[in-house]
């Protein structure tokens, strides 16, 4: 993932990270693939529980938000299969997107560097 900020530096920084858990891309009962077997949540409570299990199993230390069953975040931000966004307040500064089947985080890391530099002035 992004290696720009170490966990120690992230704690000292005003930069915050948030994971938004969206609809399960490869739920075992919808579009199964090899890997962890996760069922498509049918209720908000089930989606929250699945997100918390993901957070725990992946040892993700960031806070996690959960897109509702109406998939508003998914529809508005098109994060599938995954994306990284940099917001400054309510303004989108940068968004990672796959190119030729791979993901580069260079633009996101550069946006974080600029933001952190401005914060330390």
Contact 5, 112 (CB under 8 A): yes
Taking the whole predicted model, whether its pTM rises above 0.85 is answered as no
pLDDT, mean of residues 31-57:
83
- Whole-number pLDDT of residue 31: 65
Q: pLDDT class for 107, splitting at 50, 70, 90?
A: confident
- Whole-number pLDDT of residue 8: 45
Cα–Cα distance for residue pair 31/17, rounded to 1 Å: 29
Cα–Cα distance for residue pair 97/80, rounded to 1 Å: 10
68-100: pLDDT as tens digits: 989 999 899 888 777 888 888 888 888 888 888
Q: Which residue has the higher pLDDT, 32 or 61?
A: 61
């Amino acid at each position: 993932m992004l290696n720009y900020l170490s966990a120690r530096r992230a704690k000292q920084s005003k930069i915050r990270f948030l994971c938004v858990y969206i609809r399960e891309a490869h739920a075992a009962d919808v579009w199964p693939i090899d890997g962890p077997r996760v069922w498509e949540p049918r209720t908000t409570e089930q989606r929250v529980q699945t997100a918390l299990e993901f957070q725990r199993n992946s040892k993700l230390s960031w806070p996690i938000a959960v897109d509702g069953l109406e998939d508003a975040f998914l529809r508005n931000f098109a994060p599938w299969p995954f994306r990284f966004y940099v917001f400054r307040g309510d303004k989108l500064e940068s968004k990672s997107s796959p190119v030729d089947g791979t993901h580069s985080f260079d633009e996101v890391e550069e946006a974080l560097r600029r933001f952190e530099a401005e914060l330390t002035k």
